[in-house]
Structure 1
Amino acid sequence: MKSNGLFFILVLFLTISCKDSSQKETPVIDIVEETRTKEEVLIERKEKGIAKFYKRSVNRKGDTLLPYIPQDSVEVFFTRYGKEHPETIVRMTTSFGDIEMELFKETPLYRASFLFLINNGYFDETVVHRAVKGFIVQAGNSDNMITAQKKGSAGNYQLPMQILPGVQHSYGTLSSAKYWENNPENWHNPFDFFISLRATDHLDGEHTIFGRVIKGMKVAEAISKVETDSRDWPKNDIYIEMSVVN
C-alpha cells in the first residue's frame, strides 16, 4: 500500500508538471494576434513584402532609376514609407538661390511620396519647366530621357486627390500638378509640383495643396520673371536639386 501511495503521488506530480509546462510554452504571438484584426495583420505583411521586394533599378547606361511601385500598392507603400521617414522640411536649390518648403502632415501620401522621390534622386536633372510672373513656378520635369525613364521605372504611379478643408491656393503654397484632360478621377502627378505666387481661386478644389514655402519666396519670384518660350518654359534651363532638411 505504501508503494502504491508513492506511485500515485508521483503520477500526480508529473501530471501537474506537464500542465505547467504546456502553459509556459504557449506562444506569446498567439495572445498578441488575438488583439489584432485579420485586416491589420494582412496589411502589415503586405507592407513588409513591398519594402523587401521593390528595389531601385538601373538602365543600360548605368543610371540609377526608381523602385517600381504598382498603382494598387501606392497607399500601402507610402503609408509605411511615411512612418519610416517623418521629415517635413525640404530644400530646393537653384542657380537663383534656395527655397525651403514645409510638407503638410495632413497630406501623408503626398509628403511620403515627395520624400521618396527626393531620397531616390528623381529630381536630379529636372528643371523649372514653367515660370509665369505673378502666377506660378512649376518644376519636376525635363526633356531629358533619364527623367522619363525614372518615371517609367516607378510605374508612373499617381496619387489620389486630397483637398484639405479651409486650405486655399495663396502666396507660397506648394501643390501637385495633374492632367486636366481624360482624368475623371482627378489623379495627381507626384513628380510635378508648383509654387503659387498669388491667390488662385480657380485652382482651389482642383489641385492638392501639400505644403508651403517657409523661406525663399524672393527666389521663386525671381525665377518667375525669366524669359520663357510660348509654353512658359524658361529659355535657359534652371536645374533644381532637392534635399531633405529635417
Structure 2
Amino acid sequence: MSVLFETSAGDIVVDLLVDYAPKECENFLKLCKIKYYNFAPVHSVQQNFSFQTGDPLGPTSESSDGGSSIWGILSGPSQKTFPATFHPKLKHAERGTVSMATAPHTSDPDVRLAASQFIVTLGDETDYLDGKASIFGKVVEGFDVLEKINGAITDKDGHPLVDIRIKHTVILDDPYDDPPGLREPSQSPQPSKAQLATVRIADDADLNEEVDEETAEKVRREREARAQALTLEMMGDLPFAEVRPPENVLFVCKLNPVTTDADLELIFSRFGTILSCEVIRDKKTGDSLQYAFIEFEDKSACEAAYFKMQGVLIDDRRIHVDFSQSVSKLAEVWRGAENAKRKRRGGGGWGGVQGLEKWRKYREEDDREDDNGRYSMVYGEEEMRGRHEKEGNKRNRGDDRPPPPRDLERERDGRRGDGGGEKRDWHREEQRRSRSPRRDKPRDPDRDRWDRGDDRRRDRPRHGDDRYRRDRDRDSDRDRNYRRR
C-alpha cells in the first residue's frame, strides 16, 4: 500500500504500515483519494528534524481550521478528529518516517487526537516525536526531495519563503473500502481563492529573471530615494519618509531679477485662483534669486499653467516651469505643530528634552550678523559665556600655570630619611661623577684621559718611585677617613 506525492520540489513515495496503524492509514488514503491534500503547503520546517503539511490552507491563513479527518468531511465536524494509536514497535529512528500530528484531548490528556496533518522526519534519531506523533508510514523514494525541503530558506516560524506545496496525490494501492458518501473527483481540483491568498512567492516564479539596464537603474534610484528619505526623517528634516510634495504648487525659475511677486501673480492668475506667489530673495541683500513658487487653489489650474507657460518670455527672460518638489513648507508646518504639542504637554523640545530645538541647525534661522559684523557661530551666547567663565575659573585656580623650577637643595635635604645615609650616598655619587672623564667632546691624541698634556705626563712619578708610593698611601687614608665620617 503506497501513495505518490507530486510536490513542487519533486515526487515522494510513501509506503503505509497498515498492520501497525490501520486507522491512520485508512484516513490518509481516503484523504488522498478525494484530493484533500492538493495545494497544501509545507510548513514548520526544522532543519535536520522534520517538516509538517496536510492542512489545505496552512497556518498562515486566518480561515484555516487545522484540517479534518475523512470522517469529519463526510459526517460532520463532530468527527473531525479521531484517537491516534501508538504502536510500541514503531519509533522515529530514521529519516523519512511519516506520522500523524496529534494534540492532547481537552478532557483526557492521555488521549491524543489526529486529523489530517502529518509529519515527515528530516533526520535520524528524532525520538522526541515518540508518543507525540502517530507513525503510519515511511518514505521509500524521493530522499532528494527531502534534502531540498531541508535546505529551503525559511522565516523565523519555519515557513519556506518560496512556496513548497503538494501538487497532486496518486494512490498506488488501497486495501480499504470507501466509507459511505465518499466520491472521488474525476480530475484534480483547482486551488480555491483562500488557498491562492496564502501564496508568498510562487514555486514557479522566476527569481533569476533578467531585467534591462534601464529598469534596473530605475529600481536602484527608487531604493536610494527611499533610503535618503528615511535618513531625512530620522534627522527631523522631513515629517515622515513617505511625504510627497503638493500637487498644486508650481516652480518657476530663470526669472529676471526685476520681476516681482505682483508681476508673476498678475501673469499666472488667468489660469485660476492663486493662494500665494513668492519670489525667493536673499535674506541679507533682498536681491531676487531668480526663482519663485506659485500656489494655486486648484490642481487643474496648476497643470494648465505648467503646459501653457513653459518658455514664455517675461521681462526679456524665457522662464522654465515645473511642478514643485519642495516639502519645506509642509515640514515647517509639521515641525511647528509638533513643537506646540510638546510645549502644551510641558515636555520640552524634541524627544522631551527642554530647549533641544536650537540644536537643529548649525546657525540661527535668520543668519544675521551680530553687532561686530561677524557671522553667528555654532555655539550661542549662553554657551560661549559659560565657556569663558570656566576658563576664567581655571586661571584663578592657577591650573594652567607653568610648574615651578626644581629646588635641588630641597631635594637633597629630602633624602635624609635614614639619618643622612642617603645624603652621603648622594655626595659619593657626585664625587664619582666629578672624577669621571669628560665624554662630551673628542679626546686630543696629545693629551691623556685626564686632559693633561705631554709635559704633565713627563713630570708624573713612576710606579717604582718612593714619592709615588707615599702619595698613593696618603690618598687611600684620606678616602678611608671620609667613608668613616
Q: CA 1:129–1:149 in 2, change beyond 3 Å: closer, same or farther?
A: closer
The equivalent position to 1:229 in structure 2, one of 140, 155, 163, is: 155
Q: CA 1:172–1:150 in 2, change beyond 3 Å: closer, same or farther?
A: closer
The equivalent position to 2:90 in structure 1, one of 167, 188, 212, is: 167
Spell out structure 1 runs of 4+ moving beyond 6 A.
none
Distance in 2 of aligned mates of 1:173 and 1:237: 22
Distance in 1 of aligned mates of 2:127 and 2:145: 23
The equivalent position to 2:17 in structure 1, one of 104, 112, 130, is: 104
Structure 2 residues not aligned, in runs of 5+: 174-485
Note the 1:78-157 alignment, pairs <5 A.
88-106=1-19, 107-141=21-55, 142=58, 143=60, 148=65, 151=68, 153=73, 154-155=76-77, 157=80
Distance in 2 of aligned mates of 1:102 and 1:114: 11
Once the two structures are aligned, what percentage of the paired residues are identical? Answer: 30
SS in 1 for 2:30: helix
Conservation of the 8 A alpha-carbon contact between 2:51 and 2:121: yes
Structure 2 equivalent of residue 242 of structure 1: 169
* 1:189 lines up with 2:114 in the alignment: yes
| TM-superposed deviation, 1:181 | 8.3
Please give the TM-score of this superposition, normalised by the length of structure 2: 0.31
Residue 116 of structure 1 aligns to which amino acid in structure 2? K
Distance in 2 of aligned mates of 1:181 and 1:231: 25
Residue 190 of structure 1 aligns to which amino acid in structure 2? A
Q: How many residue pairs were aligned?
A: 159
Q: Spell out, residue by residue over 1:114-170, the C-alpha distance to the aligned partner (whole angstroms, 9 max, x if none).
A: 011111121122110121211112111224578649747552622222112222102
Distance in 1 of aligned mates of 2:170 and 2:121: 20
Distance in 1 of aligned mates of 2:41 and 2:142: 17
Which structure is larger by alpha-carbon Rg, 1 or 2?
A: 2
SS in 2 for 1:98: strand
Structure 2 equivalent of residue 75 of structure 1: none
Residue 155 of structure 2 aligns to which amino acid in structure 1? D
Distance in 2 of aligned mates of 1:150 and 1:138: 12
Residue 96 of structure 2 aligns to which amino acid in structure 1? G
Distance in 1 of aligned mates of 2:143 and 2:111: 28
Q: CA 1:181–1:221 in 2, change beyond 3 Å: closer, same or farther?
A: farther
Structure 1 residues not aligned, in runs of 5+: 1-87
Residue 171 of structure 2 aligns to which amino acid in structure 1? V
Conservation of the 8 A alpha-carbon contact between 1:91 and 1:100: yes
Q: CA 1:193–1:116 in 2, change beyond 3 Å: closer, same or farther?
A: same
Structure 1 equivalent of residue 355 of structure 2: none
